[in-house]
Amino acid sequence: MLKISENGRFIAQEDGSPFFYLGDTAWALFQKLSREEAEHYLTDRAKKGFSVIQAVIISEFDGLNKGNYYGDLPFIDGDISQPNEDYFQHVDFVVDQANALGLVVGLLPTWGDKVGPLLWGTGPEIFNEENAYQYGKYLGKRYQDKNIIWILGGDRNPDSPARKKIWYAMADGIKEGDLRGHLMSFHPVGVTSTSTLFPGEDWLDFNMMQSCHLVRDRDNYNFITQDYNLNPQKPCMDAEPNYEDMPVGMLFSENRFDDYDARKAAYWALFAGAHGHTYGANGVFQFWDGKEKDRFSASHHWKEAIQFPGAGQMQFAKNLLLSRPFFSRRPAPMFFLKSFAGLGTEHIQATLSEDDSYAMVYSAAGKSFKVDLDKLSGETLNAFWYDPRTGDSHAIGQFSSDGIKEFKPPTEGYGQDWVLVLDDASKEFPQPGTHQYKKNES
């Protein structure tokens, strides 16, 4: 079972080895897909290196009244106290298939109730403190032996003390039923973080923020920095950045986010201190079949959308960070990067190990930059360029660890992002991104 690492910054496996949270948003997975289709989707995501599948039991797509692929509704006569066994057996099947493929399910008990003038979500508010607690207890007991992470929220922030108490009650119910104590977090609405919604709450094991889909080059690194610096410290992450193929601004635009946007969001957040990251694609989160009404101008059937290039590229960030001591990773202090970090597409973000044995610098548009080599350990440094598009790396030489040196990436311009990797040569780290560093311990 997963746990928080000893330093409070990351998630670890039960044996203390690193767990890299590389998520995919599959909100409508339990509702829209047949068992055969779910297996197809999950197999693809496992092959692409994802580790977490974020899916919702009661779907935002009229989940109370519109059944799953087989016509089953989650509750009998809409009564929360009467879960429909046929519906939940299908959820069981999908969770089991994901676990069999080595995937953890980020399990959302429900999408948030419709609140105010929001443009999506249907149906009345169905939860109160009592039935939220009982529903949570039912789920906790049912899924306590599965490989899951609990995620409350469903893109809705509680806008009153009464609504906040409902989420507290559901969390209490889950903990009552789930005797194994799986990790728990909350999925907030766009451009907010759980750190401000639920400060100091014990049930919240790690913080999630959503940088969302409103603008290109959202500075998610600033949000991560804010959460990273909080005390007491908890792991933090961007759990919903811009989705690949989503219109910028979300509605009625031919200007769409692409794989480059997905990469920038991932490396910016991770190098700023995030423990993991979530990817999403417009046709996938809703499992659009090309026939029914889409959300947010989906342009590709989900079976095509799972092949978007960004989905395949996310694993390269995971592979890179796991090829170095994982739990010692931290944001690089300002005195390491000696160049202006840049704004927008040209932003440069760096990360450095606590013992100064390695550093990585992400130049989002291939701009040259200067670093202070004195800040790294060892007399000699090995240097590499790592390509976020392919996961390939090549050595660029050895340097003495003294003085300020400028590095110029192999290419420059829009879509030409690169990572500089600097290693203390005496540590004999593997080629960047090739295989996991085996001495990682929590």
**Structure-block tokens of residue 328:** 């010692």
**How far is 88 from 75, CA to CA, in rounded Å?**
9
List every span in the chain annotated with CATH 2.60.40: 329-427
CATH class of 3-322: alpha beta
Cα–Cα distance list, 262 to 225, 282, 434 (Å): 19, 12, 22
pLDDT tens digit sequence for 414-425: 999 999 999 999
221 pLDDT band (50/70/90 cuts)? Answer: very high
Q: What sign has the CA pseudo-torsion 330, 333, 337, 340?
A: positive
List every span in the chain annotated with CATH 3.20.20.80: 3-322
Confidence at residue 39, expressed as pLDDT on a 0 to 100 scale: 98
Does residue 201 sit in helix, strand or coil? coil
Asked whether the predicted pLDDT for residue 363 surpasses 50, the reply is yes
71 pLDDT band (50/70/90 cuts)? Answer: very high
Does residue 323 sit in helix, strand or coil? coil
The lowest-confidence range among 76-90, 111-125, 250-264 is 111-125
**Structure-block tokens of residue 171:** 């969390």
The lowest-confidence range among 6-10, 35-39, 47-51, 434-438 is 434-438
Q: Which of 86, 38, 54, 78 is nearest to 152 (CA)?
A: 54
Query: Considering the domain 329-427 in this protein, what is its CATH number?
Result: 2.60.40
* Alpha carbon 407 to its chain's center: 30
pLDDT tens digit sequence for 170-212: 999 999 999 999 999 999 999 999 999 999 899 999 999 999 9
pLDDT tens digit sequence for 318-349: 999 999 999 999 999 888 889 899 999 999 99
Question: ∠ CA 382-385-387 to the nearest 5 degrees?
Answer: 145
User: Model-level pTM?
Assistant: 0.96
Q: Which of 355, 350, 354, 326 is nearest to 338 (CA)?
A: 350
Q: Which amino acid is at 82?
A: Q
